[in-house]
Structure 1
């Protein structure tokens, strides 16, 4: 007789993705969850293929505060010396990948169904078109909001206050702001994959979590927390 602990906790292996392969039980549900993931992991790998050049840059990316457009916008910046800025100026299409540290899952941790090893991770991919923000005020606004967002993710120690762009002198501002190129990404598609061993039964998931907690790597601890939070909702 199959017990609750023997029952896999997933829907199906059907592909639920459009631009990325996502088995249904790994698919992140709802735009709110996707954008929340980006907000918590706001450095994306920006991929472009423009004028025969395939390029990628790790760039800080946040949600843009714009209400006068039909599609969601993300905002980011990179150094003007970066050759990939040519793709921004040209308004090229881009793919931006956001992810957390992943973890190796050893078959030694499986209790019910011993299969091949795997890798657990969470990732969100965004596709859209880049748009240059040439005005210095727009670039400064992107920098202001990016710094505020990042500071919120780095809690202050006792006696500290969040840093802001206002701490720069006018001379520093004139020197630094022109050194970056700010841009928007008009979001055309957004998808996420949350590969947290949902296809395993409860006994295997609990054993995997225990195995991960015994590892020293930060990625293993992070995946263990995500798996436990997911298991707690089932």
Structure 2
């Protein structure tokens, strides 16, 4: 990933927390048939010692990507956060010199690693329980995996395979107008405030955080 120094996110703890907050990753791999990419919800499994982490998920058996992963090739997973178009009209520099162009602000994290494929029903059950447990924890009537009939679950698990990606490389990028002057950044903030959309509000929180 192209990484100008002022956009680089280098705090691994913050990058892992970002993944936990944005668990839908784009899983990218390459095989004999070329590149393939699928959106996959991941659970970040941290080591008990506090060092290292891996991503766990599952794919439908009908999805051919798991067969590529089983060959052990390196994979790339991209987790995306807030993003928004930046109009040149928001910059103070536009009024001063006119020497401005459009931009796009965004935040993302990239993970690289090698995948292992799991078929064991107990492993699959633990993975699904971890992911749903994390996403259901805040609900008053949280759904649990064992709420579904056992026979039904057994049938569902026959249709999926598990994947585990040990993280070997982790990098993040936050492009939030850090390369602009204070006056230009204030103009971007004002522009986002006027947009009044959820996407604008998310980017505004990043810039003001």
Q: TM-score, normalised by structure 1?
A: 0.82
Match of 2:20 in 1: 39
- 1:203 and 1:65 map into 2 onto residues whose CA distance is 41
* CA distance 1:125–1:133, change in 2 (3 Å): same
Match of 1:122 in 2: 107
Larger displacement relative to structure 2 (78-87 or 32-41): 78-87
Give the match's secondary structure for 2:201.
helix
From 156, 177, 181, the counterpart of 1:201: 181
Give the match's secondary structure for 1:199.
coil
Tell me, which stretches of 5 or more residues in structure 2 are unaligned?
none
- 1:134 and 1:76 map into 2 onto residues whose CA distance is 12
Confirm whether residue 86 of structure 1 aligns to residue 67 of structure 2.
Answer: yes
Q: CA RMSD in A?
A: 1.7
- 1:37 and 1:65 map into 2 onto residues whose CA distance is 14
- 2:68 and 2:197 map into 1 onto residues whose CA distance is 36
Tell me, which stretches of 5 or more residues in structure 1 are unaligned?
1-19, 230-234
Match of 1:28 in 2: 9
Q: TM-score, normalised by structure 2?
A: 0.91
1:70-103 CA-to-partner distances (Å, cap 9, x unmatched) read 8421111111110111112222210000002410
From 79, 84, 99, the counterpart of 1:98: 79
Q: After TM superposition, which residue ranges in structure 1, 4 or more long, deviate above 4 angstroms? A: 65-68
- 2:204 and 2:82 map into 1 onto residues whose CA distance is 11
* Higher strand proportion: 2
1:102-161 CA-to-partner distances (Å, cap 9, x unmatched) read 100001100146521100000000011001122110011010001112224xx43xxx32
- Contact 1:74–1:186 (8 Å) recurs in 2: yes
Shift of residue 65, structure 1, vs aligned partner: 4.6
The aligned length equals: 204
Match of 2:42 in 1: 61
From 165, 171, 183, the counterpart of 2:151: 171
From 123, 134, 140, the counterpart of 1:138: 123
